[in-house]
Chain A
């Protein structure tokens, strides 16, 4: 069994037994949706654009608090040292943590989409299937940024407070593209209307996954 699979399996097993990350992410998504329903004018008819915007707000806010979990779990009992001492490439560790975070975020996204349909009076139809890949690209980008940065912020005095301050501005391009593309997908626009946005998201994901993969060893090393 490869090192990547070993770490990922460990994280998934931990998550299946405790449910900590996914439940927290789901609960946060629910709360963000509820807050948005109250914050936005209830008398006005809410369009598809508002719904897709709410979906992304939920992703960013729940992701900010939940995405670093997979890495922060290793901080207790100094498990990180153990992982680094094992014959495991830091880049592989990054990939495994990224995969775990992506899986947790995907579960939360499924919940968020269901909530969006219920709260914003949409229909359960095939348009939701078109949103799925866009959300996956967004979640991958966010997880890539958050996994790299939470390795940094977890070791500073401000701690987790600093993660959103660093991660959200970095995520802006994928956020703009994601909101626009999923709005177009939900309103049934042709693929051509979102292809430019998808290109930006793919560029963002490729850039940040490779940056994280290459730079991770510099942020986890012990001094």
Chain B
């Protein structure tokens, strides 16, 4: 049942992705001011959307894990953090590729860029903690706490970085995020891309989640087996 849903979701993701690629490269008109490079926007925004959803899910899973203590929530948080990190990295790279021709620089300490970068650092630390804590039984609680605290930090980061950049003289005078999507075809393309990337995220999450789940079940079994062996040895 679960596998069937996943398979169909995978097929749907494939077709949505193909549709999104076609729309981005063939269907949508080229933006007048920025030219061809603006098309990266239809990937950049969905990547950002998925990254934020994934990081939000990490915090929600953390709360539920501490509340209910079910291993399932920890596995969900782990799977979500990993995928969020991939999408966040791709978002930074795609933004950088766009920024070079448009802003004339690969990177600038703009408020959104800085916020995203700090998020990337935070969840990179989260994954390093998971890797470092290995299979120790406390890792789930540690990860839940760090996931929750990181999410609590996000609004303060946004507030401080925004204030930092508005008081600071602007390095680049641009209409930040001012993609006037005048053409309805642009909005349609963005919506299809958003759906495609959301489906991709859901599919990847299901896939990774079931892997992590299997791993933790195996581990629980191995522990029970070890206890049983020890008990048999005692006798």
Contacts and interface: CB of A to CB of B under 8 A. Distances in A.
Interface of A: 145, 148-149, 152-153, 155-158, 162, 165-166, 168-170, 172-174, 176-177, 180, 196-197, 200, 203-204, 207-208, 211, 215, 218-219, 221, 223
Contacts of A165: 124-125, 128
Nearest to B150: A170
B142 interface: yes
Contacts of A152: 129, 142, 145-146
Nearest to B132: A158
Interface stretch (B35-43, B48-56, B156-164, B201-209): B156-164
A208 B159 contact: no
Contacts of B150: 170
Given A149-B146, A155-B136, A203-B159, A172 B129 contact: no
B146 A218 contact: no
B149 interface: yes
A219 B141 contact: yes
Given A155-B136, A215-B148, A166 B129 contact: yes
Contacts of B138: 155, 219, 221, 223
Nearest to A212: B149
B134 interface: yes
B132 A162 contact: yes
Contact of B157 (A153, A172, A196, A218): A172
Contacts of A148: 145, 149
Nearest to B133: A156
Given A177-B160, A223-B138, 14 more contacts: A148-B149, A152-B129, A155-B133, A157-B132, A166-B122, A169-B125, A170-B149, A170-B153, A172-B118, A173-B157, A197-B163, A200-B156, A218-B66, A219-B142
A149 B125 CA distance: 11
A110 B170 CA distance: 35
A60 to B, nearest CB: 14
B160 A173 contact: yes
B163 A208 contact: no
B71 to A, nearest CB: 13
B129 A173 contact: no
11 contacts: A156-B134, A156-B136, A165-B128, A169-B121, A170-B122, A172-B118, A200-B156, A200-B160, A211-B148, A215-B66, A215-B145
B129 A156 contact: yes
B129 A204 contact: no
A166 B132 CA distance: 12
Contacts of B57: none
A176 B145 CA distance: 24
Nearest to A184: B167
Given A152-B129, A218-B141, A211 B156 contact: no
B167 A180 contact: yes
Interface in B102-148: 118, 121-122, 124-126, 128-129, 132-134, 136-138, 141-142, 144-146, 148
B112 to A, nearest CB: 15
B221 interface: no
B162 to A, nearest CB: 10
B93 interface: no
A170 B160 CA distance: 12
A196 B163 CA distance: 8
A162 B129 contact: yes
A152 B144 CA distance: 11
A173 B122 contact: no
A152 B122 CA distance: 15
B141 A221 contact: yes
A173 B128 contact: no
Contacts of A204: 156
Given A169-B118, A176-B161, A215 B128 contact: no
A215 B147 CA distance: 12
Given A165-B128, A166-B129, A169-B118, A218 B144 contact: yes
Contacts of A162: 125, 128-129, 132
Contacts of A215: 66, 145, 148-149
